[in-house]
Chain A
Amino acid sequence: MIDRIQDGPVIEAQGLTRIHGRGCPDCVRLTGDVHGRNVCPACGSVVAVAEVSFRLWPGEILGVMGESGSGKSSVVRLLHLDDRPSAGTVRFRESHGRAHDLASIDEAEARRLRDTRFGMVHQNPHLGLNFGVSAGGNIAERLLCCGERRFHAIREAALGLLDRTEVPRARIDHQPGQFSGGMQQRLQIARALAPNPELLLLDEVTTGLDLSVQARILDLILSIQRDLGVAMVVVTHDLGVVRLLAGRTMVLRHGRVVESGLTDQILEDPQHPYTQQLVMSAL
């Protein structure tokens, strides 16, 4: 379904639900934070996320926080069109006003959006980078997806993106396997930024990196948001990351949103017992 709207959120999700398994009419009712489980006792299906609704505005960073298995990565997979929801709608609006319902989009259009409008940075660089080609080749692939066919223009753009993400220019022809963990993440960010995306999805980008490298990556993400104004969804289980990056935060548990609002408000005055526990444990 495609229509045109002038202004509005980049992403508007309504009742987003993803059930793995055959599912039954009681799946959503019998799972969730109230029941303390996300496996349906009636049919055994896994309710990865259910009834998740949120809006993401242009230039905004939305934090998605929760423990392992809470459904954070499922939300990102649905937004990145790597998976399709069992119910609900996700409306994505391109900057020129064209809007898409990501829940019912066809595979060819999904590929176009993934290639030209979205950027994704994975926790595991092996998922986000092609280790068989050079750093420049990784960035070139995204530019080639957008139709760029001038070798020298691709080369210049790749060097510019390496500058932007603080990867030394001299490393452009090195393979990602020769990079450190932090540099691999920066290369992933450079690759994600190549087509000037309108939505950047960051899935646990600093997990597993040492603190000094984490700080540099977070600074880089902030500067990108400030300079380019790209909307971002940051998935993390680290309170420090949402505190630094996200204007608004959504807390997930057992596949449900248990609390959402301004990040400062959630961290200073958490209402849900799980969020309180999370904030207390961090302090």
Chain B
Amino acid sequence: MSALLIAGTAQRFGFLDDFAVREIRRGLLKALAVPGYQVPYASREMPIARGFGTGGMQITLAIATPLDRLKVIDQGADDSVNAVSLRRFITAACPGLATTTRTAEATLIQTRHRVPERALTAGQTMVYQVPYPDPLQIVEPSERKRRLAHAHGDYARLWVKLYEDVVRFREVSISNRYPARVAGRYVIDPSPIPRWDLPKLHRSPVAHLFGAGREKKLYAVPPFTDVEPLAFDDVPFAVEAFRDAAGARRRCARCGAGDTYLDQIPQPDGGDRWQCNDQDRCAERMEER
């Protein structure tokens, strides 16, 4: 791989040096070859603090090209402080890289907490900022034991967590980071995306790349791969219902959508306003109307 330099400077396109890019790309290839397996890598120091999306940003910088069109979202919003800061840094480090807020137009989507509501299409790539890559972390503090459990496919303690939830709450209470088995083998922590988004990973036409900068791990869900949430046979997995007191499905107060993930926004009068979490999809629907 030859270095791609920014015209008229000695600065490399994408901020990272050649060795870092090569290592991250190799790590991603391994992650795609073994779906769900956590590939360790030497996470680089970035000009933002660990925990603010350095894992996802390193993946984006390692795979972005000047031909890409980038979308950065944070909890469904394109204009949050985190999303704006990340986008600004990435575009400064990658001159020529176009940006967009439209999911349909993007080829590279870096995200925290959400998968866009609009169906993804072949040719796009999802990059996730992951705080905790290991689903076993909530039940096993020892990393050595966690690695052995992954190697042996032993997720019994994770299942016990689901059992305890069903006993206490009559349903699984995990609202995000819901553990899912990839390609029938490894169980992953699908970053902090809500349960609502998990079915979108199942046999998705795009590659989903996960980067945990602080924990120094990469993992991936390749296109058209089975992603099955852990669930008991007689207590099936269910996404958020967003129902009101009468049992009716709530709708977005802005676009009227009844099939999207909604944010609950408290109002001064004591009531709540419900609206789409995915700003782009909401705006798109309003334009369509």
Instruction: Give chain A's interface residues, CB within 8 Å of chain B.
Output: 107-108, 111, 115, 130, 133-134, 136-137, 140-142, 144-145, 149-155, 173
Contact = CB atoms under 8 A, between A and B. Distances in A.
Interface in B139-166: 148, 151-152, 154, 156-157, 159-160, 163-164, 166
B164 to A, nearest CB: 5
Looking at chain B's contact residues, is the secondary structure mostly helix, strand, loop, or mixed? Answer: helix
B224 interface: no
B232 to A, nearest CB: 4
B166 to A, nearest CB: 6
Contacts of A173: 167-168
**Most chain B beta-carbon neighbours within 10 Å: one of A133, A134, A151:** A151
B238 interface: no
B164 A115 contact: no
A137 B164 contact: yes
Interface of B: 148, 151-152, 154, 156-157, 159-160, 163-164, 166-168, 232-235
Contacts of B233: 149-151
Given A133-B160, A144-B159, A152-B234, 19 more contacts: A108-B152, A111-B152, A111-B154, A130-B160, A136-B163, A137-B160, A140-B163, A141-B156, A141-B160, A144-B156, A145-B154, A149-B233, A150-B233, A150-B234, A151-B234, A151-B235, A154-B163, A155-B167, A173-B167
A144 B157 CA distance: 9
Nearest to B155: A144
A127 B151 CA distance: 23
Contacts of A155: 167
A136 B167 contact: yes
Contacts of B235: 151
B62 to A, nearest CB: 34
B156 A108 contact: no
15 contacts: A107-B148, A111-B154, A115-B156, A130-B157, A136-B163, A137-B160, A140-B160, A144-B156, A144-B163, A149-B159, A150-B232, A150-B233, A151-B234, A151-B235, A155-B167
Contacts of B156: 115, 141-142, 144-145
Contacts of B154: 111, 115, 145
Given A140-B160, A154-B163, A149 B152 contact: no
A107 B166 CA distance: 32
A141 B156 CA distance: 6
A111 B166 CA distance: 27
Nearest to B153: A108
Nearest to B163: A140
A115 B234 CA distance: 23
A151 B160 contact: no
Contacts of B159: 140-141, 144, 149
B123 to A, nearest CB: 37
A79 to B, nearest CB: 20
Contacts of A140: 159-160, 163
A151 B152 contact: no
Considering residues B154, B163, B168, which has the most beta carbons from chain A within 10 angstroms of its beta carbon?
B163
A151 B160 CA distance: 10
Contacts of B164: 133-134, 137
B22 to A, nearest CB: 33
B246 to A, nearest CB: 29
What 5 A-B pairs have minimum CB-CB distances, sorted nearest first? Answer: A151-B232, A144-B159, A144-B156, A145-B156, A140-B163
